[in-house]
Amino acid sequence: MRFVPALILTITALFLVSCSQDSPVSRATKQKVLLMGNTAEPRGLDPHIVSGVLENNIIRGLFEGLVTEHPSKDGIALPGVAESWGPTDPKNPIEWIFNLRKEAKWSDGVPLTADDFLFSFKRILTPELGSEYSFMLYYIIGAEDFHKGKTKDFSTVKVSAPDSHTLKVNLRSPIPFLPEITKHYTWFPVPKHIIEKHGKPEDRFNPWTKPQNIQSNGAFTLKSWKLNDHIEIQRNPLYWDTKNVALNGIRFLPISNSFTEDRMFYNEQLHITYTIAPDLIEYSRKNFKDMTRNEFYFGTYFIRCNVKKGPLQDVRIREALSITINQQDIIDFVTMGNQSPAAGIVPPFAGYNSPGNIKFDPERAKKLLGDAGYSEGNGFPKIKFLTTDRESSKRLAEALQAMWKKYLGIEISIQQMEWTSYLNTMMSKDYDLAAGGWIGDYMDPLTFLDMWIKDGGNNRTNWSNERFEELLGEAEKTAGQKERYEILGRAEKLFLDERPILPIYWYTRNYLIHNHVKGWDPLILDNHPYKFLDLVAD
Amino acid sequence: MLKYILQRLLQGLLVMAALYTIVFFLVGWMPGDPFSSNEKNISPEVRENMKKAWGLDKPLWQQYLIYPKNLITEGSLGVSTEKNRPVWDIILQSFPASLILGVSALFIAVGIGVPIGILSATKKNTAIDYGGMAIAMIGICIPSFIIGPVLQLTLAAKIPALKIAGWGHPLDIILPSITLGLGTAAYLARLTRGSMLEILNQDYIRTAKAKGLKTFSVVIKHALRGGLLPSVAFIGPAFAALISGSFIVETIFQVPGMGQHFVNAAIKRDPFVLRGVVLFYGLLIVFMNLAADLIAAALNPRIRLEKT
Amino acid sequence: MRISLPTESELEKGSSLGRDAWARLRKNKLAMLSMCFIGLMLIICFIVAQLPFIDDPNEQNLENRFAPPSGDHIMGTDQLGRDLFSRILFGGQISMLVGFIATGVALLIGITYGAISGYAGGRTDAIMMRVVDTLYAIPFLVLVIVLKVVIAGPMEEQLKWMGRFANIVPLFFAIGALGWLTLARITRTQVMAIKEQEFVEAATSLGLSKMRILFRHIVPNTLGPAIVYATLTIPSFILFEASLSYLGVGIEAPNSSWGILIKEGADFLETQLYLLIIPGLFFSLTLFAFNFLGDGLRDALDVRASKD
């Protein structure tokens, strides 16, 4: 056993060597490089190809759209590539003009013009590219037809450049919140000259995003990209506002294990984590009190019901199941992230309050179940609860299973599946109940409501209602925000009364942030504009 | 000898063909496809266009033939449906980390496992034997998803030079390779002990002992050769497994290796990455098993390399 | 001095293998102690668990989660306020079953396959071993997901009568059926070494049938390493079952197993250590017992050692 002393010696040596060193965080703070957990390797950096949150985190650093986010206020647009913008007729915001800044440049010095935007819109809408999120541009007249291949003529899509620094967009219906939509990366410009240099624009595999090829227009440019290791972006000296950018760079780390991520933070290896493992939230609050954040997030967790199968065809049973979910207990003891009990499907945000009034009420539930012919749960068939293979999904499923057994006397069986099988089972409607969540894409109730139209790809419940779709159509034609919200509120109410889904909670985002990071304020969509951040050691 | 090796390599080619066929059809049987692994549904039009981009719209038999054709004529393993980058690029970027990690894990495994096994066998039924085997048992019954976090909390959190996770500094290799190698070390220890005992009981060893040779030199000179046979048979595929990465160790310690691609490609139904990594792993196994058989033959003249 | 030659059957039989082995095993205190311990565990998990004073393992009390051990809950409660002791008992049933069934299946297939391959040699051996190489390289996850779709679903209907074991018994067979590969390789190497030895030549010259030589004379001599390896696979199968549960192909929640309890417990390393330690103790002590019993068996079955 001679290696034992050797081992001790090595460990002591390591200890001595390292005692004098700074932690990775304090070194990075000095260099003004933000170390950020980003959960996984991105699927790519081409804004027209990807569709996820973690890709969004990186792309927002590299590219800038027409307008950008405010660092601390939701729903406010600050100038981006566009200096000024607005509808030609504020009463009927159907035609919009964006005036682009003259000094806007790509990181190689090539001027950025309205032509780059037209090129981008055309590229993302080209069917052959197969962009997943191209529907974000369907608001433009002709965009949907072009994307679905009904015409090959891009001039039918009503976007144009009256001159090289003006962009005109004609919408198929009035949309007062268009600037909010253009914050999404599907509306970002991509460098025409670079993409054409490296291949065909409509080729998905065009290698223009490789580190040696890519040029961008945002506050940062790509510095290095090592698969499953890191992506680092660095200050873009040609960015129009670079004198106001404090950070020199951001390093995104694809840490999929949230325990590892949190432990890296605890040991000063990260400035910001992507999330906190639920089982470490309390621990973090206790030990890293001022660094543990808990913020409202624009998402809802709920259970889909297959409304054309078994006992769940009966709305009374769906309601009974819904109101025997003790939402507060789930939040306090299972998810532990300070979420809020979901009274409806749309989370409350500025100007909109869900008309839903779902509350825990086991007495009423028992009565409803009795009315439906299963008093005390007698004769109720064993239904299946579909969920994912994650530990948190399982714990939630177990808690619900116990609640329904306790209050209604019914048995459900839990079916855990790995991700693609889970989605596939849900799509093929081979389930009774299925857990799932939804994160809003933009700040409007519609992002939670238009998915429930008949045969919508994300509906998956077999539920549909003509009146509901009429209301959505009516809202589309209404320009005034207040009236619009009122109509959408009626649609939500109708939807909730039918209860094709059982809401559980409105999301919060729990994460750890080092107190070196300055300028990071709560934002409901969580798109923090990096140009306003700073790193200062205390 | 050379002829034997050539024959084995030829057989290896057949193994690869069989592997390709099996994986090709297995992926087809899995529910869902590469374009249905997104929470937000993709519209049918987009899905068709995506299928076209990867050639997944062609009839199955064509797809089955195109892939090997491209592999042979262009050396292409296809493009990942999940990461939008060539499969070769993925393998070449992730294999180095796995190789470094796997080799150091193997060093730890052999360096700890074989000596413990030999020591336990020669001191059969003594405290040393039980102690050694108890250590080996710990390596077996503590899974890596516990060893990893425990090392993080005990060593990495206390010694600043050791990071919780990450890959880049030479010291970053220490914790993941211990986590990866410990299980293998334990297997080796027990396997070595078992076969050493067998050998030590054989007549020629008894004769050697009876002739007055020291136990130590008997072990080294005579018993070790035979006693390591089963371990060698085990090390072949074990080494291939070690250097092709481990999902658990890689995700706990943030190692940019290959192991995660096996799991992620399966979950995301990425047919090209899955074929690529499986064929790569198959190739490793063919070579490692060949090496194991050659070493076994060298250790034991009784085993003849059979001509087929 | 007798001069008459022994008859064929006498030569072949020697002394009764089973009885001798049992006699030797009984002398090994540690092995006997381990056997008693395993017996005790079986009784606790399968019989004590049925007693009325044991709590329902699935009954929750959210307000009382993470309760420390007390009179009500002698081992405390888990993250959903369920009695940890009864979860360990019921989880033990499943872990024991997976250990026994899967290892049994793997032993049966692995030894038979490896022995035939090693003994036959030549072309048969080459083909059989290349099949093993091929199977090695296929990611378990892919096989398991496919298995779930193709086999587990339909089989579950057939096995309804087994109650809560309905969806796990086929799974255990599947684990065993996938886990025999290394065992086959180890056995094969052993057989190749043994078949060149004198006693096999003697048996061949006596004109015994090949099957008889293989299974009566050679295989018993390979059991040593095989049993050692099998005792090593028990823990890996038990742990593997835990990871399967996370892929939706394991046992159905809220049922549990030791592997799952450990995996869940690992999430509370910083906060509730007992959730890992207590099930971990049950798990590792049982595995220690399995291994010492395995060692005992190995020694007891060692044919040549008996000729002292």
Nearest to C145 among A390, A414, A418 (CB): A418
Q: What is the mean pLDDT of residues C232-238?
A: 81
Q: How confident is the model at residue C297 (pLDDT cuts 50, 70, 90)?
A: confident
- CATH number of the CATH domain containing C97: 1.10.3720.10
Q: Which of these ranges, B10-24, B93-107, C17-31, has the smallest mean pLDDT? A: C17-31
- Tell me if A228 and B152 make a contact (CB, 8 A cut-off): no
Residue C304 has pLDDT above 70, yes or no: no
Residue A493 has pLDDT above 90, yes or no: yes
The CA–CA distances, whole Å, from B98 to A249, B95, B242, C182 equal 29, 5, 8, 22
Q: Which residues of B200-216 are buried (b: 16+ CB within 10 A; e: fewer)?
A: bbbeebeebeeeeeeee
- Tell me if A333 and C62 make a contact (CB, 8 A cut-off): yes
Name the token pair of A332.
């306090």
CA angle C254, C259, C262 (to 5 degrees): 90
pLDDT tens, position by position, A210-221: 999 999 999 999
B 105-144: CB under 8 A from A: none
Nearest residue of C to residue A384, measured between CA atoms: C252
Q: What is the pLDDT of residue C10?
A: 45
- Asked if the C-beta of B76 comes within 8 angstroms of chain A's C-beta atoms, the answer is no
Residue C275's domain comprises 92-301
Angle between helices C181-194 and C84-120 (to 10 degrees): 40
- Tell me if A414 and C254 make a contact (CB, 8 A cut-off): yes
Q: What is the pTM of this model?
A: 0.90
Q: What is the pLDDT of residue A249?
A: 97
Q: What is the mean pLDDT of residues B230-243?
A: 83
Nearest residue of A to residue C141, measured between CA atoms: A418
Residue A153 has pLDDT above 60, yes or no: yes
Residue A266 has pLDDT above 80, yes or no: yes
What domains can be seen in chain B, in order of their start residue?
Answer: 87-307 (1.10.3720.10)
A 365-424: CB under 8 A from C: 389-391, 394-395, 397-399, 401-402, 413-418, 421-422
Q: What is the pLDDT of residue A197?
A: 96
Residue A290 has pLDDT above 80, yes or no: yes
Distance from CA of B278 to the nearest CA of C (A): 6
Q: What is the pLDDT of residue C245?
A: 65
Instruction: Determine, yes or no, domain membership for C184.
Output: yes
Q: Which of these ranges, A453-457, B11-15, B72-76, has the smallest mean pLDDT? A: A453-457
- Asked if the C-beta of B217 comes within 8 angstroms of chain A's C-beta atoms, the answer is no
Q: How confident is the model at residue C151 (pLDDT cuts 50, 70, 90)?
A: low
Nearest residue of B to residue C242, measured between CA atoms: B143
Instruction: Determine, yes or no, domain membership for C308.
Output: no
Instruction: Determine, yes or no, domain membership for C73.
Output: no
Residue A393 has pLDDT above 60, yes or no: yes
Is residue A301 within a helix (H) or strand (E), and if so which, with residue range? strand A292-305
Distance from CA of B207 to the nearest CA of A (A): 30
What average pLDDT does chain A have?
A: 92
Instruction: Determine, yes or no, domain membership for C77.
Output: no
Residue C232 has pLDDT above 80, yes or no: no
Q: Which of these ranges, A79-88, A389-398, A453-462, C234-243, has the smallest mean pLDDT? A: C234-243
Please answer whether residues C70 and C57 qualify as being in contact, where contact means their C-beta atoms are separated by less than 8 angstroms: no
Chain A residues whose CB is inside 8 A of the C268 CB are 279
Residue C286 has pLDDT above 70, yes or no: yes
Residue B231: closest CA among B177, B192, B175: B192
Burial class of residue A60 (count of CB atoms within 10 Å of its CB; 0-12, 13-18, 19+): buried
Q: What is the pLDDT of residue A196?
A: 96
Q: What is the mean pLDDT of residues B102-128?
A: 90
Interface ipTM? 0.90
Residue A45 has pLDDT above 80, yes or no: yes
- Tell me if C270 and B308 make a contact (CB, 8 A cut-off): no
pLDDT tens, position by position, A352-389: 888 988 999 999 999 999 999 998 889 999 899 999 98
Max CA-CA distance within chain A? 85
Q: What is the pLDDT of residue C2?
A: 40
Nearest to C253 among A280, A416, A422 (CB): A416
Distance from CA of C303 to the nearest CA of A (A): 33
Q: What is the pLDDT of residue C87?
A: 94
- Asked if the C-beta of A267 comes within 8 angstroms of chain C's C-beta atoms, the answer is no
How far the first Cα of chain C sits from its last, in Å, is: 21
Residue A5 has pLDDT above 60, yes or no: no
Instruction: Determine, yes or no, domain membership for C98.
Output: yes
Percent of chain B with pLDDT over 70: 97
Instruction: Determine, yes or no, domain membership for C32.
Output: no
Residue C117 has pLDDT above 50, yes or no: yes
Q: What is the pLDDT of residue A282?
A: 93
How many CA atoms lie within 13 Å of A197's alpha carbon, on the beta-carbon side? Answer: 12
Please answer whether residues A68 and A82 qualify as being in contact, where contact means their C-beta atoms are separated by less than 8 angstroms: no
Chain B residues whose CB is inside 8 A of the A224 CB are none
Q: How confident is the model at residue C145 (pLDDT cuts 50, 70, 90)?
A: confident
Distance from CA of C193 to the nearest CA of B (A): 6
Q: What is the pLDDT of residue C18?
A: 67
- Asked if the C-beta of B31 comes within 8 angstroms of chain C's C-beta atoms, the answer is yes
Query: Rounded CA gap, C184 and C108, in Å?
Result: 10
Per DSSP, helices labelled H in A241-386 are 258-266, 278-287, 315-323, 327-329, 362-371
Residue C6 has pLDDT above 60, yes or no: no
Most B CBs within 10 Å, among A204, A389, A420, A426, to test the B interface: A420
Q: How confident is the model at residue B18 (pLDDT cuts 50, 70, 90)?
A: very high
Residue C1 has pLDDT above 50, yes or no: no
Percent of chain A with pLDDT over 90: 77
- Asked if the C-beta of A331 comes within 8 angstroms of chain C's C-beta atoms, the answer is no
pLDDT tens, position by position, C161-214: 776 676 677 777 778 877 888 889 888 888 887 887 777 778 778 887 888 888
Instruction: Determine, yes or no, domain membership for C144.
Output: yes
Residue B146 has pLDDT above 80, yes or no: yes
How many CA atoms lie within 13 Å of B52's alpha carbon, on the beta-carbon side? Answer: 14
Is residue A35 within a helix (H) or strand (E), and if so which, with residue range? strand A33-37
Query: Rounded CA gap, A26 and A157, in Å?
Result: 51
Q: What is the mean pLDDT of residues C282-302?
A: 81
Residue A233 has pLDDT above 90, yes or no: yes
Amino acid identity, residue C287?
A: L
pLDDT tens, position by position, A403-440: 999 999 999 999 888 888 899 889 889 899 999 999 88
Query: Rounded CA gap, C293 and C39, in Å?
Result: 12
Q: Which of these ranges, A283-287, A352-356, A515-519, has the smallest mean pLDDT? A: A352-356
Pairing verdict, β A292-305 and A433-439? antiparallel
Q: How many domains does chain C have?
A: 1
Interface residues of chain C, partner chain A, Cβ below 8 Å = 58-60, 62-63, 65, 79-81, 145, 148-149, 245-248, 250, 252-254, 264, 267-268, 270-271
Q: What is the pLDDT of residue C307?
A: 35
Name the token pair of A130.
């197969």
Q: What is the mean pLDDT of residues C276-305?
A: 80
Query: Rounded CA gap, A246 and A297, in Å?
Result: 27
Q: What is the pLDDT of residue A533?
A: 96
Q: Which of these ranges, A184-198, A235-249, B13-27, has the smallest mean pLDDT? A: B13-27
Q: What is the pLDDT of residue A6?
A: 62
- Tell me if A21 and B168 make a contact (CB, 8 A cut-off): no
What average pLDDT does chain B have?
A: 86
Q: What is the DSSP string of A277-292?
A: -HHHHHHHHHHSGGGE
Residue A351 has pLDDT above 90, yes or no: no
Q: What is the pLDDT of residue A407?
A: 94
Q: How confident is the model at residue C305 (pLDDT cuts 50, 70, 90)?
A: very low
Most B CBs within 10 Å, among C24, C29, C130, C134, to test the B interface: C134
Q: How confident is the model at residue C294 (pLDDT cuts 50, 70, 90)?
A: confident
Q: How confident is the model at residue A123 (pLDDT cuts 50, 70, 90)?
A: very high
Instruction: Determine, yes or no, domain membership for C17.
Output: no
Q: What is the pLDDT of residue C213?
A: 81
Name all chains with 3 or more CB-CB pairs below 8 Å to chain B.
Answer: A, C
Burial class of residue C95 (count of CB atoms within 10 Å of its CB; 0-12, 13-18, 19+): buried
Residue C7 has pLDDT above 80, yes or no: no
